[in-house]
Structure 1
Amino acid sequence: NTVILMTSNLGSDLLMQQLSEKPETTESELHELIRPLLRDHFQPALLARFRTVIYRPLTQSAMRIIVEMKLAQVCERLHCHYGLSTSVDERVYDALTSACLLPDTGARNVESLLNQQLLPVLSRQLLSYLAARQHPTYLSLTWHDEDGIVIAFDGINSDYPQESIYGQC
C-alpha cells in the first residue's frame, strides 16, 4: 500500500474569503464550497480516490509558536558552535509573526525571513568578529520602530556596529 500526498492551492481564495467572513464555518461546509472547483479541475476517477483535507490558516498564536521555535533553533546553533548567549526582544517575535500571517505565505515565510534576511546579516557580523580573531559572547536581537530588527554583538569591540534589517518585517 502506498499513500501519496498531493497539495494544491485550488480554491484557497474561496476558502480564505469564506473563513474571513465566517470563521466558524465547519469542515463539511468548506468541503461543499470547494467541491464544484474540484469537480471542474480533476477527473471523476481521480477525485474518487482522493481524500480532501482542508488546511485552515494558522492562528496568530500558532504562528508565534513557530517563530519562537525557529529562532530558538538559531540561538541554540549559535550557542553550540560559538558559545553565544542570546537575547531576543519580544517585539522581534511580534514583528516576525505579523510578517508571516499573510495568507499567501504562512509559515513558509518564517524560513524565508530567517534564511534570506536575518541570517545573512547575522552571519556577516559574526564572521567579521571571527576574522579579526575576536569572539563575541552575547547576541541581542531587538526591534526598533525606525530600524526594524537590530542585531548587536556586545562586549568585545565597538568597531563592529549594530546592524539593522530595516523594513523587512
Structure 2
Amino acid sequence: ELARALAAFLFDSEHAMVRIDMSEYMERHSVSRLVGAPPGYVGYDEGGQLTEAVRRRPYSVLLLDEIEKAHQDVFNILLQLLDDGRLTDGQGRTVDFRNTVVIMTSNLGSHVIAEMPPNADAREHERVHDEVLAVLRQHFRPEFLNRVDEIIVFSRLDREQLRHIVEIQLQSLRSRLAQRSISLDVDEAALDLIAEDGYDPTYGARPLKRVIQRRLQDPLAMAILEARLRDGDRAHVEVRGGELVIQTPAHTDALPVG
C-alpha cells in the first residue's frame, strides 16, 4: 500500500508501481527471468520481468517484495542496478533505472518488532531499530547494504493508525462506487468498529482489508446485484446493537451486514 501510494503521489497513478515477488527467484536458474534469457535459450524473445517492466515505464516505483528470499545471484544484479542505475537485459539493451524509485521489503527482524510493547518509548524504539539492523547485516552482504540509501524500520500499528488506514481504504471503495454514481457515508462509530475488528498487532493491516471486504464490499455488491442499491443512490453505514448496518434508500430496507 505504501508503494502504491508513493507511485500515485510521484507519478499520478497507482499503476506506476511494478511489484516483483522475490520468493519466485529463490532458485539459481530463475535469476535469468529478471533480465531475460541469453541468446540461444528458451524465452530469449520475451525479455526480463524486471528490465522489460522498467523499459516500458521508466518513471515508476519498483517494489521488490520479500527481498530476503531471493537467491544470492539476484543481489549481483541488484548491485549494478543500485550502483550504476542501469541494467543490460538478455538482448543487449541497456535499461535506465535513474527515474525509478526502488523499494525493497523484508520480514527479517519482525520477531524483534513483535516483542516491542505498545507503549514503547524512544529508547525502546532505538533499541529495536538497532537489533533489526543487526539482523539485516547478518543476512545481507555489506556491499549490498552500503548501496541502499535508507533503511526504515516500521513499528507495529496501533488502533489510531489503523483507523486512519480504514479511512484510506474506504476512499478506494468510494471511488469504485462513484463509477455507478453511488455515494457512501460511514459514521464515526462504524469506523471505530471496523478498525477494532481488523486490529491485529501481529499481522498489521492485512486483516483489515479482509474485514472491509467481508463486512462492506460484499454486502454492497449483493445490494447492487439485487437492485436494492441503484445508480445514483446513497448508502449510509452505521452501528446498531454492536453490528454494522447499511442504510439504503427509501425503496429498500436497512441491510444488516454483521
Same fold (TM over 0.5): yes
TM-score for the superposition, normalised by structure 2: 0.50
Does the CA-based 8 Å contact 2:199-2:208 persist in structure 1?
Answer: no
Q: Does 1:142 find its partner at 2:238?
A: yes
Distance 1:143 1:32, change over 3 A: same
Please, what TM-score do these two structures have when normalized by structure 1? 0.71
Q: Report the residue type matching 2:153 in the other structure.
A: I
Counterparts of 1:157 and 1:112 in 2: how far apart (Å)? Answer: 26
Shift of 1:11: 1.1
Return the match for 1:69 from 146, 163, 168.
Answer: 168
How far apart are the structure 1 equivalents of 2:228 and 2:189?
29
Distance in structure 2 (CA, Å) of the matches to 1:107 and 1:144: 25
Question: For structure 2, which runs of at least 5 residues remain unmatched after alignment?
Answer: 1-84, 86-96
Structure with more contact order per residue of length (Cα contacts < 8 Å, sep ≥ 6): 1
The one-character-per-residue Cα deviations of 1:15-74 (angstroms, maximum 9, x if unpaired) are 232353633236643332223322332334434434421112334333222212322442
1:94 Cα deviation from its structure 2 partner: 0.3
Quick one: distance in 2 between partners of 1:85 and 1:52? 40
2:156 corresponds to 1:156:
no
* Larger mean Cα displacement after TM superposition, 62-71 or 117-126: 62-71
Shift of 1:145: 4.0
Q: Which has the larger radius of gyration?
A: 2
Distance (Å, rounded) in 1 between the aligned partners of 2:202 and 2:182: 35
Structure 2 residue matching 1:154: 3-state secondary structure:
coil
- Residue equivalent to 2:54: none
Kindly provide the amino acid, as one letter, of the partner of residue 154 in structure 1.
P
Deviation digits for residues 76-100 of structure 1 (CA, Å, limit 9, x no counterpart): 543x334444432312100122234
Say whether the 8 Å CA contact 1:136–1:154 is kept in structure 2.
no
Give the CA RMSD over aligned residues: 3.1
The whole-number CA distance in structure 1 between the counterparts of 2:114 and 2:123 is 11
Distance 2:120 2:181 in 1: 49
Q: How many aligned residue pairs are there?
A: 159
Aligned equivalents of 2:228 and 2:239: distance in 1? 25
* Alpha-carbon distance in 2 for matches of 1:138, 1:35: 49
Change (3 A) 1:122 1:35: same
The residue type equivalent to 1:143 in the other structure is: V
Asked if structure 1 preserves the Cα contact closer than 8 Å seen for 2:184 and 2:235, the reply is yes
| Per-residue deviation, residues 105-161 of structure 1 (Å, max 9, x unmatched) | 323444333235421211111210169xx6673312122345x32223130144xx6
Match of 1:125 in 2: 223
Measure, in 2, the Cα distance between the counterparts of 1:130 and 1:34: 51
Where structure 1 has 5 or more consecutive residues not aligned to the other structure, the ranges are none
Contact 2:238/2:244 (8 A) holds in 1: yes
Cα distance in structure 1, aligned partners of 2:125 and 2:102: 22
Structure 1 pair 98/23, CA: closer, same or farther in 2 (3 Å)? Answer: farther
